[in-house]
């Protein structure tokens, strides 16, 4: 850690510290049964002054998850070379013995806490995702999506509903098959895995036009990166939970439509900037498949509720999700954004 501290001080002050001592260490823990994350702040004394250094320490539950995260991080570590507005935190240290990775700390604000207009947040999130996806296109292998849907439908134990939902999904399978949407996806692209640069946000708050200010977006948690998947899958993941919440509160999804429009605007801006001759809609000639992926998330969510609470599709707390599922698949509200 001494070398990490010295490098940080040099980058922040331009001065090289020779002697460093730790005054205090504070940390908070987040995570699941499969991985634990410690957000650690070191209060340091050195011969060139006092300093605060933040790092993120992540412990994986097993060797496979540890190695996968290291491998996936390398795939997007230099993404800022594609677009300077997106950054992936550096790995400062890794230990296979302890299944531990130490990432650089980020002076950033969460999606929720950043004082920006919601439209601007969605636009920035779209820009970052386009940089991760890149401009390479390819034919999609759709079988994995079909298998997942068939499994989820089988859990419903409601043959009439299963048939209805499957029929509604068939046009989306065909749209994926006719698309060139295959790419490397983040795999867990949601608001909690994005941070906005505190320094850049401050400039915007002081009156700088966001259109002329590159607000850096930090993308974290590369553990679930996958190759050859539908690029709309990440967009569906990003908006599925907010869409469900909006429907539960208001009975409609108009705000989600507006947010996805802003997101795609940012996405297309970066596709152009990094050299693509195609916008997102050009990659999907028969319509975007965002609706399919949001609907799949809703289906997964209601299946989880059925299994964990021993419910049926006729249960009151399931009916709303079934209604939303049908609306999305029938109306395709996000298909032509």
Number of domains in the chain: 2
The CA distance from 144 to 141, in Å, is 7
Residues 156, 119 within the same domain: yes
Span 285-317, pLDDT tens digits: 999 999 999 999 999 999 999 999 988 888 888
Residue matched to tokens 């295959």: 182
Domain boundary among 86, 106, 126: 106
Q: Assign residue 151 the CATH number of its domain.
A: 3.90.1200.10
Residues 146, 275 within the same domain: yes
Predicted TM-score (pTM) above 0.85: yes
Residues 77, 138 within the same domain: no
| End-to-end CA, the chain | 48
Q: Half-sphere exposure (CA, 13 Å, Cβ side) for 195?
A: 15
Residues 114, 75 within the same domain: no
Residues 146, 98 within the same domain: no
Whether 214 has a pLDDT exceeding 80, the answer reads no
Residues 75, 119 within the same domain: no
Is the residue at 203 inside a domain? Answer: yes
Q: Bridge partners of 219?
A: 194
Q: What is the mean pLDDT of residues 213-237?
A: 93
Residues 93, 116 within the same domain: no
Span 35-90, pLDDT tens digits: 678 889 999 999 999 999 999 999 988 999 999 999 999 999 999 999 999 999 99
Domain boundary among 106, 131, 146: 106
């Amino acid at each position: 850690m001494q070398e990490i501290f010295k490098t940080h001080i040099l980058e922040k002050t331009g001065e090289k510290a020779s002697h460093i001592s730790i005054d205090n260490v504070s940390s908070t823990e987040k995570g699941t049964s499969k991985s634990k994350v410690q957000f650690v702040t070191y209060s340091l004394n050195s011969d060139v002054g006092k300093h605060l250094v933040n790092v993120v320490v992540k412990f994986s539950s097993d060797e496979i998850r540890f190695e996968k995260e290291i491998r996936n991080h390398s795939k997007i570590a230099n993404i800022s070379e594609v677009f300077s507005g997106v950054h992936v935190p550096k790995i400062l240290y890794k230990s296979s013995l302890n299944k531990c990775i130490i990432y650089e700390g980020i002076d950033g604000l969460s999606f929720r806490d950043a004082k920006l207009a919601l439209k601007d947040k969605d636009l920035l999130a779209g820009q970052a995702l386009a940089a991760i996806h890149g401009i390479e296109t390819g034919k999609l292998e759709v079988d994995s999506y079909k298998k997942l849907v068939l499994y989820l439908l089988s859990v419903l134990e409601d043959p009439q509903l299963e048939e209805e939902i499957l029929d509604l999904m068939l046009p989306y399978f065909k749209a994926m098959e006719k698309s060139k949407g295959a790419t490397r996806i983040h795999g867990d692209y949601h608001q909690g895995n994005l941070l906005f640069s505190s320094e850049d946000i401050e400039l915007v708050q002081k009156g700088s036009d966001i259109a002329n200010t590159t607000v850096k977006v930090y993308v974290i948690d590369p553990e679930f990166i996958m190759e050859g998947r539908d690029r709309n899958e990440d967009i569906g993941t990003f908006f599925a939970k907010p869409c469900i919440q909006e429907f539960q509160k208001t009975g409609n999804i108009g705000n989600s439509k507006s947010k996805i429009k802003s997101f795609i605007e940012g996405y297309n801006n970066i596709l152009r900037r990094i050299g693509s001759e195609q916008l997102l809609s050009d990659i999907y000639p028969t319509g975007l498949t965002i609706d399919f992926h949001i609907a799949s998330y809703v289906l997964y969510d209601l299946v989880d509720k059925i299994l964990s609470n021993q419910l049926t599709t006729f249960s009151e707390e399931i009916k709303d999700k079934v209604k939303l599922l049908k609306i999305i698949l029938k109306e395709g509200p996000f298909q032509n954004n």
